[in-house]
Homo-oligomer: A and B are copies of this chain.
Amino acid sequence: MTSRELGLPMQVASPEPGELPAAVTIWEVGPRDGLQNEKEIVPLDVKLEFLHRLADAGLGVLEATSFVRPEWVPQLADAAELLAGLQRAPGVRYPVLVPNSRGLDRALESDVRDIAIFASATETFTRRNLNRGLDEQFAMFEPVVRRAVEEGLTVRGYISMCFGDPWEGPVPVEQVVSVGRRLLEMGCDQLSLGDTIGVATPGHVETLLRAFGTAGVAVDRLGVHFHDTYGQALANTYAALRHGVSTVDSSAGGLGGCPYAKSATGNLATEDLVWMLDGLGVKHGVDLTKLVETSVWMAERLGRPSPSRVVRALAS
């Protein structure tokens, strides 16, 4: 099955900058990116109910879990059990993060059809995250992507630290574009441009997106992934939509990191995104009421309130 048949918006003409897309694919990362930093292990049945409720709320892409080594991310050590217990809703995609060939084996054993790999735009973060250099990361991903494509999977390439890096400061857009092009040439269907530490602002977003356009990358190959550390996530998303981006990562209830800590790494809340898309008249397919109910339910499981403004306003 190709990415086109799976409904990925791969061959749509790029809109002019300034036009909004008619519809947006919300790439829900709460079950994976949102939960992976939770210290206390969330029970398997809670994770499954979370995924089932998100699908019922109309989300069409649910990044379900990760096949990283369990000792690295204990929270997601139950990936195989989760996928075995998951009732996959018709038309919903359940991508899974896959770090290496062993992870791909496990994903294939679990009948995963969409995977994501996690690359970085900076030398320092690549070294810290993968224990290898910026260029060396491609050697690690290449066999994974090749085999995934052969198996008919879709492959998303996350690029972390696309705007700033805690050690290197601002990241040159050329460097991000270079990493992105190599991932696409390798066989990735789509990139997710991540502001891992939340330092992006809308002008920087536009500059990066324009640089990808200049390098010949169609805007429909690009997703955006913002964190709300400095409150910029939704403004950045709006800038990306204005540029024609139609895939946006977000996390139900803003799950991900603690909003009260220094490294406040909360993701853009899906509810706040949905509120904006509704106002803009951009289609998304999500039932906001069901989504808010799900986030309130999950917040009770985790024992702390959702940082999403919409959840707080609608649920209180």
Please list the residues of chain A having a beta carbon within 8 angstroms of any beta carbon in chain B.
Answer: 18, 20, 198-204, 228-232, 234-235, 237-239, 259-262, 264, 269, 272, 275-276, 278-281, 305, 308-310, 312-313, 316
Contacts and interface: CB of A to CB of B under 8 A. Distances in A.
A279 B309 contact: no
Given A235-B276, A238-B238, A261-B316, A230 B309 contact: yes
Given A230-B272, A230-B275, A262 B313 contact: yes
Oligomer: number of copies? 2
B264 A309 contact: yes
A231 B310 CA distance: 7
B262 A229 contact: no
A316 B261 CA distance: 6
Given A238-B239, A264-B312, A232 B275 contact: yes
A146 to B, nearest CB: 38
B201 A276 contact: yes
Contacts of A228: 309
Residue from A237, A238, A269, A313 whose CB has the most chain B CB atoms within 10 Å: A313
A199 B313 CA distance: 11
Contact of A278 (B20, B201, B237): B201
Residue from A234, A278, A280, A305 whose CB has the most chain B CB atoms within 10 Å: A234
Give the 5 A-B CB pairs with smallest separation, nearest first. Answer: A201-B279, A231-B309, A231-B272, A262-B316, A235-B235
A237 B234 contact: no
Contacts of A232: 234, 272, 275-276, 279
Nearest to A239: B238
Nearest to A265: B313
Contacts of A199: 279
